[in-house]
Amino acid sequence: MKRVATLFTLLSICAFTPVFAEDDLSAKLAGIKLPPGFEIRVYAEGVENARQLALGDHGTVFAGSRKAGLVHAVVDRDGDHVADRVYLIDKDLKMPSGLEFRFGSLYVAALDRILRYDDVENWLDQPPEPVVVTDQFPDKTHHGWKYLRFGPDDLLYVPVGAPCNVCDEPGFAQVRRILADGSGMEVYAEGVRNSVGLTFHPETKELWFTDNGRDLMGDDMPGDELNHAPEAGMHFGYPYCHQGDTPDPDFGQGKSCTDYTAPALTLGAHVAALGLTFYTGGMFPEAYRNQLFIAQHGSWNRSEKVGYDILLVRFDAAGRVTGSEAFASGWLQGQENWGRPNDVLQMPDGSLLVSDDQAGAIYRIVWTGQADGQ
């Protein structure tokens, strides 16, 4: 494999940045509200516009970006749960928001294509040139940033957002899936306006995803969605129906919401629900096992801001949603936000990482209390 060799490229592409837990960010984190027994700490700073997170085989945390065009690698070499260095894996990409890691390779979604960086953890200071897995996705930038997730079937699931606020355009508002080599592309789900979060239930192995609702229907309509897609071929309503029960004022005429799959849970309007993960670790109390954490990025289009938090969605033993509650909040103070949660990633020790694309940081949530019954 060809490696980058020039001094200029080494300096510009592969540079690393020391990471320090600065007092001001730590002070802000002290205002984050969590359930008793939990703490949040700085894991890494200097991760510009940190979006989706992915974990390498050797503990490297990779972070995509949307506005910055960068892909980062975050390393904690001494095992103190604070990153030592942030490496730059690539730059000048088109909205490389979505990442996934599989068999030693980092997959990066960059607008119309998916790139693969092979053996990347062994070459952080001299990253490999990317291989183009596929370039068969639309190149429209409106809702063009993506989120990647390999499913239990070893297929790579990729959302394709609508290229507008609301429109009916073929080939968009979908969740697709492909083989790891980029072949065999097919549509898995339709009627999905803008999903930036996919995950699979640890027991049922079924797909769950967030979807951001349309704008210009007021402060409180429609709600963002948590959707459940246990099989291929389901349609979730967009652009004809929103939040399972509200026809679109422009495209809903002659349509019935009962013809589409309703969300498993309607979230707040404009909270911008993004990355999500089911908790399967051993650090948190048993009550959190197989429960769902969602990063809510926060509204930009509402007279009073909402979101900017981590939502906990409760499931029963049968895998059905029973309710939701705030798990971590405080990035929004009054109507001023100092951070925007974007994704959540469970680490091998059971802690939970949270990316913040506004503060350019990654946080670590840990359980320090005593679990019930212990």
Please give the domain boundaries of the chain with CATH numbers for all domains: 7-367 (2.120.10.30)
Burial of 271: CB neighbours in 10 Å, binned 0-12, 13-18, 19+: buried
Q: What is the mean pLDDT of the chain?
A: 93
Pairing of strands 85-90, 98-102: unpaired
Question: pLDDT tens digits, residue range 323-347?
Answer: 999 999 999 999 999 999 999 999 9
Q: What CA–CA distances, in Å, run from 94 to 97, 109, 141?
A: 9, 9, 9
Average pLDDT over residues 88-111: 98
pLDDT score of 244 more than 50: yes
Question: pLDDT tens digits, residue range 133-150?
Answer: 999 999 999 999 999 999
Give the DSSP per-residue string, 307-357: --EEEEEEE-TTS-EEEEEEEEE-SEETTEES--EEEEEE-TTS-EEEEET
Q: What is the pLDDT at residue 23?
A: 75
pLDDT score of 3 more than 90: no
Question: pLDDT tens digits, residue range 58-82?
Answer: 999 999 999 999 999 999 999 999 9
Q: What is the pLDDT at residue 21?
A: 42
pLDDT score of 316 more than 90: yes
Q: What is the pLDDT at residue 11?
A: 35
Q: Give 370's pLDDT tier (boundaries 50, 70, 90).
A: low
Give the DSSP per-residue string, 54-68: EE-TTSPEEE--SSS
Which of 2-6, 21-25, 313-317, 351-355 shows the lowest mean pLDDT across its residues? 2-6
Question: pLDDT tens digits, residue range 247-294?
Answer: 999 999 999 999 999 999 999 999 999 999 999 999 999 999 999 999
Q: What is the pLDDT at residue 18?
A: 39
> What CA–CA distance (Å, rounded) separates 170 from 174?
10
Q: Who has greater pLDDT, 14 or 126? A: 126
> What CA–CA distance (Å, rounded) separates 66 from 18?
22
Q: What is the pLDDT at residue 22?
A: 57
Token pair 């029963």 is found at 316
Closest to 257 measured CA to CA, from 299, 302, 225, 230: 225
pLDDT score of 196 more than 60: yes
Q: What is the pLDDT at residue 372?
A: 45
Q: What is the pLDDT at residue 116?
A: 98
